[in-house]
A and B are shown apart, each in its own frame.
Chain A
Amino acid sequence: MNFEENNTDQINAARARICDYYTRLNEFFLKRSDLLKLMMVAAAAQEPMLFIGRPGTAKSLLVSVFCQGLGMKQDDYFEYMLTKFTEPSEIMGPVDINELKGGRYLRKVAGHLPTAKIAFLDEIFKANSAILNVLLTVINERKYYQEGKPLPVPLVCMFAASNEIPDFGEFDALKDRFIIKAETLPVRDSCFHELIRTGISFESRVHNREKPWKSDCTLDDFVLVHDYVVSTVLPAAVQRDDRVILGDERVTTAFKAIISVLADELKVEITDRKLIKLYKLIMTQAFIFNGGNVTREELKILCYCGNNFSDVRKIKDYIEERLANLD
Chain B
Amino acid sequence: MSHTVLVCDDAIFMRTMISDILAQAGFEVVGEAETGSQAVEKYRQLKPDLVTMDIVMPDMGGIDAVREIVKHDPDAKILMCSAMGQQALVVEAIQAGAKDFVVKPFQPSRVLEAVQRVLG
The answer to whether A binds B is no
